[in-house]
Amino acid sequence: MMESKDPASHDDTGVNERIARRVRELRSARGYTLDALATRCGVSRSMISLIERAGTSPTAVVLEKLAAGLGVSLAHLFSGGPDEEPAQPLVRRAQQSQWRDPESGYLRRALSPPGWPSPIQLVEVDFPPGARVAYETGGREKVFQQQVWVVKGRIDVMLGAQLYVLNEGDCLAMRLDQPLLYSNPTAKPARYIVAICDELAPTGARTA
């Protein structure tokens, strides 16, 4: 009998390579050395170098620090580069890329068509029982807007000093200008949709 495989395992390598390319491109565009970016984001030079070579699977917390140092949203690090195929306005479920956070085990699915010129990005997250992810980068130069809609189960969101208990169907709007903590305090998995307003998204469509 064949062992069952993690549904995200086939996508992780490709997503890590995409992240590596995006970090290299963004760092180069801003003229940052590895040392300069390390100072800005609080991630070691050696770790950034590994990420840029797709030599490691970084955690969501590390990626959020990198995104903050580069002045973009976390979703921006998962987006495709200009050398990829022309963007299309439709992406089928089977084509949506997935990535699993090696620390918390949460599964991230990019719902929005990759590379499409829109300031709105949709992400679906499957959050395991007991999972916890703390984003500490509240002091961004640019503040992003985000909304979280719980599809199944319960998640607790701590934004700064304010705790929000979100149950199925609840939706929370946030400004990402404070430390942010997601947790699932229950024994059941949760699922939620994140809508991110990323004004740094490209404005010109790369259509076929």
Which tens digit of pLDDT belongs to each residue from 100-135?
999 999 999 999 998 888 989 999 999 999 999 999
Whether residues 104 and 193 fall in one domain: yes
Whether residues 69 and 114 fall in one domain: no
Predicted local distance difference test score (pLDDT) of residue 112: 94
Whether residues 103 and 165 fall in one domain: yes
Predicted local distance difference test score (pLDDT) of residue 4: 38
- Taking Cα atoms as reference points, which of 59, 19, 27, 30 lies closest to residue 45? 27
Tally of structural domains, the chain: 2
Domain annotation covers residue 181: yes
Whether residues 64 and 123 fall in one domain: no
Whether residues 73 and 104 fall in one domain: no
Predicted local distance difference test score (pLDDT) of residue 84: 57
Which residue in the block uniquely carries the two structure tokens 């990829």? 84
Predicted local distance difference test score (pLDDT) of residue 53: 96
Domain annotation covers residue 38: yes
Which residue in the block uniquely carries the two structure tokens 């990402």? 176
Domain annotation covers residue 29: yes
Domain annotation covers residue 102: yes
Which residue in the block uniquely carries the two structure tokens 């050398």? 83
Whether residues 98 and 193 fall in one domain: yes
Which residue in the block uniquely carries the two structure tokens 């970016």? 37
51, 78, 105 - which closes a domain: 78
Whether residues 133 and 189 fall in one domain: yes
What phi and psi values does residue 42 have, to the nearest 5 degrees? 80, 20
Given its phi and psi angles, is residue 161 left (phi above 0), alpha (psi -120 to 50 degrees) or beta?
A: alpha
Cβ proximity of 38 and 48 under 8 Å: yes
Which tokens sit at 152? 């199944």
Domain annotation covers residue 36: yes
Identity of the amino acid at 143: V
Domain that residue 159 falls in: 93-197
Between the CA atoms of 97, 103, 106 and 108, what dihedral angle is there, to the nearest 10 degrees? -20
Spell out, as residue ranges, where the chain has pLDDT lower than 50: 1-10, 81-83, 201-208
Given its phi and psi angles, is residue 115 left (phi above 0), alpha (psi -120 to 50 degrees) or beta?
A: left
Whether residues 143 and 177 fall in one domain: yes
CATH of the domain at 171: 2.60.120.10
Which tokens sit at 94? 């089977």
Whether residues 105 and 47 fall in one domain: no
